[in-house]
Amino acid sequence: MMSIFAKDLFKGQVALVTGGGTGIGFAIARTLGQLGARVVIAARALDKLESAAEQLTAGGMAVLAAEVNIRDAESVNALFARLESEGWQPDLLVNNAGGQFTSPALSMSPNGFRAVVDLNLQGTFQMSQAFARQRISQARPGSIVNIVLCLEQGIPGMAHAAAARAGVVNLTKTLSWEWAEHGIRVNAVAPGTIATSGLENYDADNLQAGIDRLPIRRMGQSEEVAEAVAYLASPAASFITGITLPLDGGEHMTGANPQR
């Protein structure tokens, strides 16, 4: 994909991308790296991260693979301490890690609901707080971009994720107020259906039915999400904070319920 951005847009900056070893996160890491950032990709499975880092490094980027479980506050704090001591302290944070399983709400166990909220909402908060504490203690500005979901029409079959991501949308607004005085902008991107291996667990016919209803009748590409993240993280968006940008081929109008 041709980039509209200057090649050295993020030169001198470090970007931390959670879930950066796979799918959308990998595309975000690659785009920010191509635009000059040093990139930390962080998730639970170190083997996947290391092979992703190898690919990016082979493309000439400076990349660090770092283990973290965003659900675990101690793991999050250990990551930020490590990055500071090793000279990879992030200027930009992309909260991309997340996910869920599909289930009718009536069948969800309390633990299943909690696990998804914990990952998507609590995890995003813990990462954002650790990032902001580090930036603010050193009087440095920063930018956070949260990856959420297209949820404007509700998401039947994903009550836990819809509720958690709606929480992140409002967290985005609230933190943008609280941290603006420290030069930290907080925004979000809400992707619709994006072609990644993460979709393997979803019913293909169901997905296709949803796509057939879209104004732009196709899945999105990870690179299209990455370009939006680059824009929101960059100085081109210096007067934008607290927003959630739909990136969904129009799914915010049709909803993610292909059966109706």
Ligand X SMILES: NC(=O)C1=CN([C@@H]2O[C@H](COP(=O)(O)OP(=O)(O)OC[C@H]3O[C@@H](n4cnc5c(N)ncnc54)[C@H](OP(=O)(O)O)[C@@H]3O)[C@@H](O)[C@H]2O)C=CC1
Instruction: List residues near ligand X by CB under 6 A.
Output: 18-19, 21-25, 43-45, 48, 68-71, 96-99, 119, 123, 147, 149, 191, 193-194, 196-199
96 binds, among ligand X, ligand 8Z2, none (CB under 5 to 8 A by kind): ligand X
Is residue 20 close enough to count as binding ligand 8Z2 by CB under 6 A?
no
Is residue 101 close enough to count as binding ligand 8Z2 by CB under 6 A?
yes
Question: CA 182, CA 238: separation in Å to the nearest integer?
Answer: 13
Question: CA 134, CA 144: separation in Å to the nearest integer?
Answer: 13
Kindly write out the interface string for residues 104-143 of this chain, putting x where it contacts ligand 8Z2 by CB under 6 A and - elsewhere. Answer: -----x-xx--xx--x------------------------
Is residue 69 close enough to count as binding ligand 8Z2 by CB under 6 A?
no
Q: Which residues sit opposite 144 in a β-bridge?
A: 93, 186
Kindly write out the interface string for residues 153-182 of this chain, putting x where it contacts ligand 8Z2 by CB under 6 A and - elsewhere. Answer: ----xx------------------------
Instruction: Write the DSSP string, 17-62.
Output: EETTTSHHHHHHHHHHHHTT-EEEEEES-HHHHHHHHHHHHHTT--
Helix (H) or strand (E) holding 131: helix 123-137
Start-to-end CA span in the chain (Å): 34
Considering only 58-66, 102-110, 172-180, 235-243, which stretch makes contact with ligand 8Z2 by CB under 6 A? 102-110
